Amino acid sequence: MKFKTFFWFVAPSVFMMLLFIAAPLISVFIQSFQITQPVMQQIEVETCTPGFLTQTCTTEIKTVPVIDEETGRTQTTTAWVGVQSYQNVLQMDKFWAAIGSGNWGDILQIDFWKALRFTLMFTLVTLPLVIGVGLMIALAVNNATKALRGPVIFISLLPFIITPVIGSLSIYWLFVGDGILTATLERWLDRDIAMFAQAWTIELLMYFYRVWHVAPFAFVIFYAGLQTVNMDTLESAIIDGANRFERLRYVIIPHLMPLIIFIALIHLMDCYRVFDEIIGFRSQAHVISLQWLTFDFLTPDDAGNRAISRAAASAMLTMVGIVILLILPLRRTWRDHKGGAH
Amino acid sequence: MSKATAQPLSLKVASGAFLAFWCLIAAFPIAWIAVMSVKSPRDAFDASAWNVITGPATRAAGNGLSLLDILLGLIVLYFAIRWAFTRLPGMVEQYSPPGFIVLGWLVGAAVYGLLFVLIFFGALPLVFGMLNSIAGPLGTPILGLTTEHYVAVWGENQFYRNFINSMIVTAGVVTVSLTVGTLAGYGLARSGSNLAFWLLIIALVFRALPHSVLVAGYLPWFINSAEILRPILGDLSPTLYGQPWAIIAVLVAINQPFTIWMLRSFFQNIPSELDEAARVDGCSHFQAFRRVIMPVMWPGVITTGLFSFLLGYNDFLVTALLLDAQNQTMVPAIAGYFNRETTTTDQVEAVAAAVSITAPLFLLVMVFQRQIVSGLTAGAVKG
């Protein structure tokens, strides 16, 4: 295909990606070093209250935003502040103070570090669970009679396809104060249970939700992979006296290895963006994630202001994490591409 | 199957039990909120599971189904579904003008859905009311069931507005991202150049980006877009913040990396001899694409369209931050219930709204299960 033809085929797509992905990235990068604030001015205000004989008048100096006379909006200025926004997000002074005093736990009181801790732990805990559960379902379905497979796949797809916020809400409602599973647990254990009053129970539910949501995806891919296992290899393994577990360990899992890597890669990308669970479980008071932190900065506060520059700083820090996460797999792909070219 | 690979009974039982357990876990939360949504608040949050299912308080309030109702309802449901799978496709093909089969299906599905709702919620309750009064013991209600929460959500709370917004956004996302994506996917599949490889790698990196990073980039520009664009467009310049079509553009761009990867793998499966033959016969690349590739690409396009639909439909973050309250789509709108979710009635209404959001997805899996499975495996199995 000639370059010119290729260019016209991909141009619309590349244009959209440049305009709506690459350009915002640059804009975020610049914003993270700037801060935009309303221009404030100090004016003298005289307020008078009616009093006996004479009015009581007081004058005080108030700080009010300057209003643009033409548009009627507050005027704003934008100033370069260097890494101040990053400082505000990272709060390194508190971080070092916590390390200096030996109270490592205090680090997790700072929003950013709290979010980072949860995001990383969430990714690392759910990854093996998703692969394990997905593989088990795939093996079990492969074992089942043909007539059962269709309905089982249908039911398995439901948790995968459901809107993430709704999926986590549906589990939230099972465990909320008077939800059915909390009530059942309380009757069994004969004690009061509040699943949403402390961080660790919420985290457990979030891990459960994510495995429930993603395991079907792993299952479908593994199931497709199982259909292509080489029967000859499997039979020679049987002749060589390999038992069931050894066949799984030395024939089937190596055959599925590329798929395991693929799922792990997708799962890393998606878990690092964990966000919908925080909304669904309403856990912002206890557990937050990196993406939620940026979302929170971008949501207008009570006064209607958005902390754009802090959001930009936290977004850039999130970006750094994803780049570190992706370096290894990308280097591998590059080497494969080079190898394939020869 | 040889004797050596035959499995001992214990293994078979264990594998079957595990599968049953998984199905229970997979379906339970979704099935349970569906049950909760049709009960009165007292029943929905009852401590006993049996009470939640049978709904004594709902029944006591005069909303219940008798044995006769359940039987008749199931029979009507069975025939309705059977009809949808046997007669409906023929009717759609007969009445839709040639070349507009997709449009025909859309109209057919909408008419069918409307008829279904009218029969089930309009006609059947009237018939049941008359039958129950003369049926004696068979006609006494045994199962509490009420649609009041759905009526409240869709009627009083005007959830249909959010539904329409959701439909506009998803329809836009699917159409635009498929149009743009098929061209790019075809170009990438047929070009082995280094540039194509780099485009794909960059797309992979873009796919990994957290969406909040991008929204942080859009927000200041979207809010101030009217002033920024004024020198170019004059007084017509729009404020992008809160505009559904701006959201469509954003979601299409976010979706592009995934779309082009997926479509590329589908196009690679179409033998390149096909378009080479067309080129030998004197077609240009675009003509070859339009006359030879387009007729055979629909399975891949439908699958990719399904995943684009899911992205647009399920999105919370982008729509919550970039749309204002008037144009809100369904998923962020449900967050509005959190703030006023003070009484149990509000909670059950939120449950009913959640079930309303899930129902179209349920239908989607029912109709397109095969395509979804093939889409999931397309990228992975071929590496």
Shared domain check, B201 and B285? yes
Residues of B in contact with A170 (CB under 8 A): 29-30, 32-33, 354
Please, are residues A175 and A196 in contact by the beta-carbon 8 Å criterion? yes
| Nearest-neighbour CA in chain A from B91: distance (Å) | 27
Shared domain check, B267 and B170? yes
| Nearest-neighbour CA in chain B from A84: distance (Å) | 17
Size of interface A-B (CB pairs under 8 A): 293
List all residues 6 or more positions away from B124 whose beta carbon is below 8 Å from its beta carbon: B72, B73, B76
- The tally of domains found in chain B comes to 2
∠ CA A43-A46-A49, rounded to 5°: 150
Determine, for residues B217 and A137 on separate chains, whether the beta-carbon distance falls below 8 Å: no
Q: Is A200 on the interface with B (CB under 8 A)?
A: no
**Dihedral sign for Cα atoms in the order B326, A168, A159, B347:** negative
Determine, for residues A20 and B204 on separate chains, whether the beta-carbon distance falls below 8 Å: no
What mean pLDDT comes out for the span A287-291?
A: 90
- pLDDT for the residue B2: 52
Q: Is A285 on the interface with B (CB under 8 A)?
A: no
- Chain centroid to CA B121: 23
Reported confidence tier of residue A342, pLDDT bands at 50, 70, 90: very low
- Helix B298-314, helix B344-381: angle, nearest 10: 150
Q: Is A269 on the interface with B (CB under 8 A)?
A: yes
Q: How many CB atoms lie within 10 A of CB B356?
A: 21
- Asked if residue B361 belongs to a domain, the reply is no
- Who among A263, A308, A322 is closest to B209 (CB)? A322
φ and ψ at B28, to 5 degrees? -55, -55
Determine, for residues B316 and A279 on separate chains, whether the beta-carbon distance falls below 8 Å: yes
Reported confidence tier of residue B341, pLDDT bands at 50, 70, 90: low
B residues 12-41 lying closer than 8 A (beta carbon) to A: 12, 15-16, 18-19, 22-23, 25-27, 29-30, 32-33, 36
Strands A34-38 and A40-49: unpaired
- Who among A144, A169, A298 is closest to B16 (CB)? A144
List all residues 6 or more positions away from A156 whose beta carbon is below 8 Å from its beta carbon: A137, A216, A219, A220, B22, B23, B26
List all residues 6 or more positions away from A285 whose beta carbon is below 8 Å from its beta carbon: none
- pLDDT for the residue A100: 84
- Asked if residue B50 belongs to a domain, the reply is no
Using the predicted structure, report yes or no on whether residue B382 has a pLDDT greater than 80: no
Shared domain check, B192 and B139? no
Return the DSSP state at A67: B
Measure the CA–CA gap between A49 and A59, rounded to whole angstroms. Answer: 12
A residues 85-114 lying closer than 8 A (beta carbon) to B: none
Residue % of chain A over a pLDDT of 90: 21
Average pLDDT, chain A: 85
Q: Tens of pLDDT along A170-207?
A: 999 898 877 888 888 888 888 888 888 888 999 999 99
Instruction: Return the top range by mean pLDDT from A52-56, B99-103, B211-215.
Output: B211-215
List all residues 6 or more positions away from B259 whose beta carbon is below 8 Å from its beta carbon: B177, B178, B180, B181, B185, B304, B307, B308
Element (H, E) at B342: none
Measure the CA–CA gap between B99 and B90, rounded to whole angstroms. Answer: 15
Determine, for residues A156 and B26 on separate chains, whether the beta-carbon distance falls below 8 Å: yes
- pLDDT for the residue B383: 43
Measure the CA–CA gap between B167 and B184, rounded to whole angstroms. Answer: 25
Closest CA to B330 of B153, B148, B109, B118: B153
Distances (CA, A) of B37 to A86, A277, A325, B317: 46, 22, 42, 26
Shared domain check, B323 and B200? yes
- Asked if residue B352 belongs to a domain, the reply is no
- Asked if residue B116 belongs to a domain, the reply is yes
Q: How many CB atoms lie within 10 A of CB B35?
A: 18
Using the predicted structure, report yes or no on whether residue A39 has a pLDDT greater than 50: yes
∠ CA B51-B52-B55, rounded to 5°: 70
Using the predicted structure, report yes or no on whether residue B170 has a pLDDT greater than 70: yes
- Asked if residue B314 belongs to a domain, the reply is yes
- pLDDT for the residue A193: 81
One-letter amino acid of B46:
D
Closest CA to B163 of B37, B365, B334: B334
Tokens of A33: 């070093």
φ and ψ at B39, to 5 degrees? -115, 160
Residues of B in contact with A5 (CB under 8 A): 187, 285-286
Measure the CA–CA gap between B268 and B264, rounded to whole angstroms. Answer: 6
| Nearest-neighbour CA in chain A from B303: distance (Å) | 14
| Nearest-neighbour CA in chain B from A137: distance (Å) | 7
Lowest mean pLDDT among A17-21, A319-323, B98-102, B243-247: B98-102
∠ CA B276-B278-B279, rounded to 5°: 60
| Nearest-neighbour CA in chain B from A5: distance (Å) | 7
- Chain centroid to CA B59: 33
* CATH architecture of structural domain A104-341: Orthogonal Bundle (1.10)
Q: Is B242 on the interface with A (CB under 8 A)?
A: no
- pLDDT for the residue A244: 84
Please, are residues A45 and A60 in contact by the beta-carbon 8 Å criterion? yes
Please, are residues A212 and A277 in contact by the beta-carbon 8 Å criterion? no
Determine, for residues A16 and B256 on separate chains, whether the beta-carbon distance falls below 8 Å: yes
φ and ψ at B341, to 5 degrees? -75, 75
Strands B141-144 and A34-38: unpaired
Measure the CA–CA gap between B185 and B200, rounded to whole angstroms. Answer: 10
φ and ψ at A72, to 5 degrees? 75, 15
B residues 263-322 lying closer than 8 A (beta carbon) to A: 285-286, 310, 313-314, 316-317, 320-321
Tokens of A117: 């801790």
What mean pLDDT comes out for the span B86-104?
A: 77
- pLDDT for the residue A72: 66
What mean pLDDT comes out for the span B350-372?
A: 88
Using the predicted structure, report yes or no on whether residue A341 has a pLDDT greater than 50: no
Shared domain check, B170 and B250? yes
- Who among A21, A180, A337 is closest to B197 (CB)? A337
Distances (CA, A) of A66 to A72, A237, A332, B20: 10, 81, 56, 67
Burial of A175 (0-12, 13-18, 19+ CB in 10 A): buried
Q: Is B256 on the interface with A (CB under 8 A)?
A: yes
Q: Would you give the end-to-end CA distance of chain B in angstroms? A: 30
Measure the CA–CA gap between B122 and B145, rounded to whole angstroms. Answer: 15
Average pLDDT, chain B: 83
Shared domain check, B176 and B125? no
| Nearest-neighbour CA in chain A from B164: distance (Å) | 17
Reported confidence tier of residue B127, pLDDT bands at 50, 70, 90: confident
Q: Is A171 on the interface with B (CB under 8 A)?
A: yes
Measure the CA–CA gap between B264 and B244, rounded to whole angstroms. Answer: 29
Range of the domain at B122: 64-144
Shared domain check, B220 and B302? yes
Q: Is A30 on the interface with B (CB under 8 A)?
A: no
Question: Do you know the residue count of chain B?
Answer: 383
Closest CA to B30 of A110, A163, A78: A163
Using the predicted structure, report yes or no on whether residue B1 has a pLDDT greater than 60: no
Tokens of B172: 């836009």
What mean pLDDT comes out for the span B265-286?
A: 85
B237: CATH:
1.10.3720.10
Residues of A in contact with B2 (CB under 8 A): 235
Q: Is A181 on the interface with B (CB under 8 A)?
A: no
Please, are residues A298 and B219 in contact by the beta-carbon 8 Å criterion? yes
Instruction: Return the top range by mean pLDDT from A13-27, B112-126, B222-236, B337-351.
Output: A13-27
Using the predicted structure, report yes or no on whether residue A125 has a pLDDT greater than 90: yes
Element (H, E) at A165: helix A164-175
What mean pLDDT comes out for the span A82-89?
A: 83
Using the predicted structure, report yes or no on whether residue A340 has a pLDDT greater than 60: no
Question: What number of helices (H) and strands (E) belong to chain A?
Answer: 15, 4
Tokens of A123: 């990714």
- pLDDT for the residue A245: 86
- pLDDT for the residue A269: 86
- pLDDT for the residue B29: 92
Q: What residues form DSSP beta bridges with A174?
A: none
- Asked if residue B89 belongs to a domain, the reply is yes
Q: Tens of pLDDT along A144-159?
A: 888 888 889 999 999 9
- pLDDT for the residue A71: 66
Residues of B in contact with A139 (CB under 8 A): 15
Using the predicted structure, report yes or no on whether residue B363 has a pLDDT greater than 50: yes
- Who among B15, B29, B253 is closest to A16 (CB)? B253
Q: Tens of pLDDT along A224-271?
A: 888 888 888 888 888 888 888 888 888 889 988 888 988 888 898 888
- pLDDT for the residue B355: 92
Q: Name the residue with tokens 């221009």.
A: A39
Measure the CA–CA gap between A138 and B15, rounded to whole angstroms. Answer: 10
- Helix B344-381, helix A199-226: angle, nearest 10: 40
Determine, for residues A315 and B365 on separate chains, whether the beta-carbon distance falls below 8 Å: no
φ and ψ at A39, to 5 degrees? -75, 130
- Asked if residue B351 belongs to a domain, the reply is no
Distances (CA, A) of B146 to B78, B215, B242: 21, 41, 36
Interface probe, candidates B11, B15, B22, B322, chain A, greatest A C-beta count within 10 A: B22
Closest CA to B317 of A134, A323, A322, A279: A279
Question: Strand runs (DSSP E) across chain B, as ranges?
Answer: 64-66, 141-144
Shared domain check, B77 and B185? no
Q: Is A161 on the interface with B (CB under 8 A)?
A: yes
∠ CA B175-B178-B180, rounded to 5°: 105
Lowest mean pLDDT among A20-24, B96-100, B181-185: B96-100
Shared domain check, B308 and B279? yes
Strands B141-144 and A56-65: unpaired
Q: Residue B370: how many CA atoms within 13 Å on its side-chain side? A: 3
- Chain centroid to CA A209: 14
- Who among B4, B11, B365 is closest to A161 (CB)? B365
- pLDDT for the residue B340: 64
Indicate the domain borders of chain A: 104-341
Measure the CA–CA gap between B207 and B195, rounded to whole angstroms. Answer: 18
Q: How many CB atoms lie within 10 A of CB B164?
A: 14
List all residues 6 or more positions away from A87 whose beta carbon is below 8 Å from its beta carbon: none
- Who among B211, B252, B347 is closest to A273 (CB)? B211
Shared domain check, B286 and B183? yes
Shared domain check, B315 and B183? yes
**Dihedral sign for Cα atoms in the order A223, A225, A230, A236:** negative
Distances (CA, A) of A134 to A97, A225, A246, A253: 44, 12, 19, 13
Please, are residues A139 and A227 in contact by the beta-carbon 8 Å criterion? no
